Structure 1
Amino acid sequence: MKLYFSPGSCGLASQIALREAEQKFDLIKVDFSTKKTIEGDYFKVTPKGFVPALKLDDGDVLTEGAVILQWIADKHPEHKLLPSFGSRERYTALEWLNFIASDLHKGLSVMFSPLVDAKSKANFAEINLAERWQYIEKHLADNMYVLDEQFSVADAYLYNVLCWPPRVNIDISGYRSIQKFMANMERRPSVRASLAAEGLLIK
């Protein structure tokens, strides 16, 4: 398998999940500015041009981070990266995956956009994003992970996105439960190995 990524972007979650599932894969770095990789034109891998993309051994390509995470979990159920099909816990996990993808990930994307002025970004962070931090903080106050004490791919995605606020000058250090979650995640070998592979600093 090949995982196409850009350092610090949303491909980190997929990489963590693959390591949790004990899978072998090659990391292929994508240059966002040129849409090129060492293989050439990234649009030939996926016409969307976004990361992550997971190329399977048969040449098939999966895109959309939340879908890749579900695929990894479902292909390797022995690692319990998602609850079993049909269980209430599974739908709770899927709720979180969708919340992270649609509300949190896309919300933070606004803060990276060169098309949005600084004042608008500050207002958006104060009004919209603050509510999301509070929601996550309240949940994590009573849970080690998204699903209480059971790690899942939702945690990989949540950790990935919660790494971004400092990069856009949002201070979430006062959210103690979020900080505890981040510290717990960074003790996992899969997370540390993934950060190292992307050349990111490890605390």
Structure 2
Amino acid sequence: MNLIYYPGACSLADHIALIETGLSYRLISIDHGKKTEDGRDFLSINPKGYIPTLELENGTILTENQVILAYIAETSGKLLPKDGIVRWRALEALAFMSSEIHSRYNPFFRNFSELEKERAREKLAQAFAILADQMDDKKFLVSDEMTIADCYLFWVLMVAPRSGVDLPEALRRFFEHMRALPCVVRALAEEGLG
């Protein structure tokens, strides 16, 4: 399968999950002109025009981080329990990070007013506090075992400094722990971020 990505973008979560699960993959980067490194028009692959995009061996295209992460977990049988509350907490965390954190970063990547940035900072601080409280004394976000939610949380926290929001101590510890994991070290190196 091919992971179409941009270095350091949210596709990093999928990249980490692919490495951790041991699934075979090929990275294909896109440029700002929406061309893939193998010369294809990215918009013909994914008309939404944004990454991540997962291209399966049979030509099927999957988009959206939550879906790609769930596909990687289901295909590999790793990073997401088949049943039980941890499965649902991981999926819940993915949805929360996508809607309440990832979407709030928009003002910091584009030309938004300072008022809009301040509103986003307030919402981000609230969301980070909720995640920090959820961690309790766990090693990872929803359990003592890594899940796909942790892959996404790593990226969410990596981008946090752009917002100017201070992370709670529990999330800073989590980020440092994740950054030292072999799957994260390798993903960062493969994206030229090492």
TM-score range, shorter chain: over 0.9
Q: What does residue 164 of structure 2 align with?
A: 170
Q: What does residue 142 of structure 2 align with?
A: 147
Q: How far, CA to CA, are the matches of 1:177 and 1:141 in structure 2? A: 8
Contact 2:62-2:68 within 8 A present in 1 as well: yes
Contact 1:82-1:90 within 8 A present in 2 as well: yes
State the one-letter code of the partner of 2:159: W
Identify which of 97, 120, 134 aligns with 1:100.
97
Q: What does residue 191 of structure 1 align with?
A: 184
State the one-letter code of the partner of 1:187: A
SS at match of 2:8: coil
Q: What does residue 67 of structure 2 align with?
A: 67
Q: Over aligned residue pairs, what C-alpha RMSD do you find?
A: 1.4
Q: What does residue 151 of structure 2 align with?
A: 156
Q: What does residue 113 of structure 2 align with?
A: 117
Contact 2:52-2:63 within 8 A present in 1 as well: yes
Q: What does residue 131 of structure 2 align with?
A: 136
1:91 and 2:88 matched: yes
Deviation per CA, 1:126-185, whole angstroms, max 9, x where unpaired?
x2111112112222342211122110010000111111122x251425x21111100110
Contact 1:142-1:148 within 8 A present in 2 as well: no
Q: Identity of counterpart residues, as a percentage?
A: 34
How far 1:40 sits from its partner (Å)?
2.3
State the one-letter code of the partner of 1:119: L
SS at match of 2:127: helix
How many corresponding residue pairs?
193
SS at match of 1:7: coil
Q: With structure 1 as the length reference, what TM-score do the two structures score? A: 0.89
Q: What does residue 4 of structure 1 align with?
A: 4
Unaligned 5+ segments in structure 1 are none
Q: How far, CA to CA, are the matches of 2:163 and 2:14 in structure 1? A: 25
Contact 2:4-2:29 within 8 A present in 1 as well: yes
Q: With structure 2 as the length reference, what TM-score do the two structures score? A: 0.93
How far 1:76 sits from its partner (Å)?
1.2
Unaligned 5+ segments in structure 2 are none
Q: How far, CA to CA, are the matches of 2:165 and 2:123 in structure 1? A: 14
Q: How far, CA to CA, are the matches of 2:139 and 2:106 in structure 1? A: 26
